[in-house]
Amino acid sequence: MNEFESLSATQSHPYPDSRGRYGTYGGKYIPETLMTALDELEAAYRAAQKDAAFHETLARYQADYIGRPTPLYLAQRLTDHLGGAKVYFKREDLAHTGAHKINNALGQALLAQRMGKSRVIAETGAGQHGVATATAAALLGMDCDIYMGVEDMERQKLNVFRMRLLGARVIPVASGTQTLKDAINEGLRDWVTNVRHTHYLMGTVQGPHPFPLICRDFQRIIGQETRRQILEKEGRLPDVLLACVGGGSNSIGLFFDFLSENRIRMIGVEAGGLGIDSGKHAARFFGGKLGTLHGSMSYVLQDENGQIRGTHSVSAGLDYPSVGPEHAYLHETGRIEYTYATDQQALDAFQLTSKLEGIIPALESAHAVAHACELVPKLPKDNIVVINMSGRGDKDVQQAARFILREEEQP
Ligand SMILES: *Cc1c(COP(=O)(O)O)cnc(C)c1O
């Protein structure tokens, strides 16, 4: 049995149920017009799961194109500095395009191709998911349109250029707040109209069923490799897994295949922004309430009237008002612990990792490192901690410079 077949066969974690629910979370809160498209997608995905040829194709691209397996790296200088448990990085920053998002983008693009679709569309905020989608589309010779808020296009000019270079069309969205939320609405409208030849490529474990399931499965490779690699290096499984949580895909990708190992602590780190009390953050488990956003029931940051609250984070990838439904469920069961790191803590970890390891982490990943800086010194030296280095920080140096230089100028 290959790994892909084992996805369903050995699953000890029974969610989502047949209605796409994770306990009370998840589901399909969508206009009726989208129902057929989602049903068709689910059927195609279930069929692909059982298709050895699909799995072989995916595995070939994972190895030769993405560069998998990504290394599991012992961060010795950070370990010495923190003076507690041994710290490993799972190096998703070394995946092609510099982050884990390509795992999902390529998987879904291959699925779309298998469904006979010639076009993929996606929405993007900071541009990272747009770039991953455009990359997969270029690889497979598919048409690609990326919806992006006008405001975001202005802020992320370089990524807009990158997507166009990769052959994608970037469609400006001028409605509403001209950001991610509006781009998603436009993308879904396009999908309803063009579903016959178009696949909507969801970037994280969000949205209506089956997207959270599909994206999770394509990211599970992170945890599957980590298990093999840590057994090879240490002869045992880790004690703690740490990952940042935006929509939740890199974290669930690392955690999923360890969920049944009850001895292993798993900690998801959200964006604490300027602090929880400031209200300027994206920590959904610290102030969010049950609600639906973009087709799914989960924790959502909203005001008393159910209006979506403005969020803030120094890292664009964590700056989203809702979190994947499976995380909401695993939060409720207590299997995964959630915490947050502030902008300042993340920026400190960003500099520390760069100086000590010669690895400039994505600001998103720096949130996970920031929590490690608090936790690891308290753990015994024979403990093992694995941090998911979800992406590299080249994309963030300008943003980081803005904050760090301002800080240095202060007396
Ligand atoms: C997009 C992104 C994230 C956040 O998304 P998840 O779905 O929570 O993984 C984290 N790290 C990097 C590098 C990203 O690009």
pLDDT of 97-135, one tens digit each? Answer: 999 999 999 999 999 999 999 999 999 988 999 999 999
Q: Does the beta carbon of 130 lie inside 6 Å of ligand 1?
A: no
Tell me which of 7-16, 121-130, 234-243, 287-296 is least confident.
7-16
Average pLDDT over residues 26-49: 95
Q: Does the beta carbon of 103 lie inside 6 Å of ligand 1?
A: no
Q: Three-state SS for 85?
A: coil
Query: Does 406 or 352 have the greater pLDDT score?
Result: 352
pLDDT, position 4: 43
Q: Does the beta carbon of 128 lie inside 6 Å of ligand 1?
A: yes
Cβ of 410: how many Cβ atoms within 10 Å? 5
Give the distance (Å) from ligand 1 centre to CA of residue 329.
20
Band (pLDDT 50/70/90 cuts) for residue 407 is confident
Cβ of 172: how many Cβ atoms within 10 Å? 16
For residue range 333-351, what is the model confidence (pLDDT) as tens digits?
A: 999 999 999 999 999 999 9
Are the CB atoms for 67 and 102 separated by under 8 Å?
no
Share of the chain above pLDDT 90, in %: 84
pLDDT, position 12: 65
Are the CB atoms for 162 and 127 separated by under 8 Å?
yes
For residue range 297-307, what is the model confidence (pLDDT) as tens digits?
A: 999 999 888 88
pLDDT, position 221: 98
C-alpha 151: how far from its chain's center? 22
Are the CB atoms for 329 and 18 separated by under 8 Å?
no
Query: Of how many residues is the chain composed?
Result: 411
CA-CA distance, 382 to 166, in Å (whole number)?
46
- Closest protein CA for atom 4 of ligand 1: 246
Cβ of 160: how many Cβ atoms within 10 Å? 22
Residue 78's nearest CA partner among 350, 344, 272 is: 350
Closest atom, ligand 1, to C-alpha of 318: 4
Average pLDDT over residues 218-236: 98
Q: Name the H helices within 83-140.
A: 101-114, 128-140
Q: Using most ligand atoms within 8 A of CB, pick from 219, 266, 330, 364 the residue to mutate for ligand 1.
A: 364
Q: Does the beta carbon of 302 lie inside 6 Å of ligand 1?
A: no
Q: Does the beta carbon of 208 lie inside 6 Å of ligand 1?
A: no
- Closest protein CA for atom 14 of ligand 1: 317
Q: List Cα–Cα distances, 406 to 243, 278, 283, 312, in angstroms.
A: 28, 20, 25, 18
pLDDT, position 7: 45
Share of the chain above pLDDT 70, in %: 97
Closest atom, ligand 1, to C-alpha of 204: 7
Sheet (strand 169-173) strand order: 169-173, 143-149, 119-124, 198-200
Give the distance (Å) from ligand 1 centre to CA of residue 364.
6
The percent of the chain in helix, strand and coil, each rounded to the nearest 5, is: 50, 20, 30
Q: Does the beta carbon of 101 lie inside 6 Å of ligand 1?
A: yes
- Whole-model pTM: value is 0.95
- Closest protein CA for atom 2 of ligand 1: 317
Q: Per the structure block, which two tokens stand in for 367?
A: 């949130």
Give the distance (Å) from ligand 1 centre to CA of residue 317.
5
CA-CA distance, 250 to 103, in Å (whole number)?
10
| Cis bond upstream, residue 325 (ω within 30) | no
H/E run at residue 384: strand 384-389
DSSP 327-369: HHHHHHHTSSEEEEEEHHHHHHHHHHHHHHHS--B-HHHHHHH
